[in-house]
Amino acid sequence: MPNTGTATPTDASTGPYVRPDVRAFLDFLAAVGGPTMAEAGKEGARAAYQQMRELGELPPRELAVIKDITCPGPAGEIPLRVYDARETREPGLAILFYHGGGFVIGDLETHHALCTEIAAELDLPVIAVDYRLAPEAPFPAAPDDCEAATRWVASNPEALGRTITGLIPMGDSAGGNLAIVVTQALAETPAAVPVVLQVPIYPLSDDKPDHPSFLDFADGFLLTAETMKWFDDAYQAVLGHKRAYPIYGNHAATPPTVLVTAGLDPIRDSGRVYGAELIKAGVETVFLEMKGTIHGFTQVRKAIPSAQTDLHAIFAAVRLLLERTR
């Protein structure tokens, strides 16, 4: 099992609460060792991320539709993957999913099982976006691709075989950041159909370097300070820019939001401050902080069985807000 940074054994008698299955996973990583992502380099890190999915994630769900398509983007065709539990369906909502990985690693395969789970459980089509990665394509390539793909999905029912009436941007980690950025962009300049809900999962929202969680969980909890710096150096985001750090965007027009953080995550507090801004702006918000677990829990549901319960709590919150928007 690869490391995203350095893992150290955890002690139940000191420090923050760590769930037993999370502690077992972290102790396993500490025992296995291996190079960090920064030490492995981009190709090694990308391969390690795939390996983590293969070893730690549940198998994908069977669906009626799983197909790869493309859409035009600012630098060429953008690969997409369409998931649906139904072969055909009436006009309705669709989820746009943006994968995590620090804008440097991750693709359609790393999040394949997760996307099948989302499509099966929420009974909505899911369109996953394979945006360009840094360092080959640094900021703002990722948000540019994700926005272009989302606008295309809103306007091309023939290519999708589905008529989309509303959009739900959703993503984990870097993808959670991108979900917020896309939501803000479409609030500013609407697409062919509206964004009705957003679901950022453990997102980075700001560029504040001294959140307590950055210090408290800098090492030993899967995502580390070293790995985050490596991601940052590759992505080359512009400090204070709303398309990199959406805390600087306009929150007043934000649709209902399911916002998720992890209790043992170095970027936990970045999600918390974003949630506070939403509430100040009067946005209907369900805030879920998953106590005792780590960044990336949605992709290691076999290694951390409690993560499946967390994921289904997210789905329940999505259903709740969708019922309230009808």
Cα distance between residue 180 and residue 185, in whole Å: 9
Judge contact between 165 and 194, C-beta under 8 A. no
Q: What amino acid positions are annotated as catalytic residues?
A: 173, 265, 295
Cα distance between residue 253 and residue 86, in whole Å: 32
**What are the phi and psi torsion angles at 198 (to 5°)?**
-130, 150
Cα distance between residue 58 and residue 244, in whole Å: 31
Cα distance between residue 103 and residue 111, in whole Å: 14
Cα distance between residue 232 and residue 270, in whole Å: 15
Per residue, the 3-state secondary structure of 160-177, as one string, reads HCCCEEEEEEEEECHHHH
Report the candidate in 252, 99, 71 with the shortest Cα–Cα distance to residue 179: 99
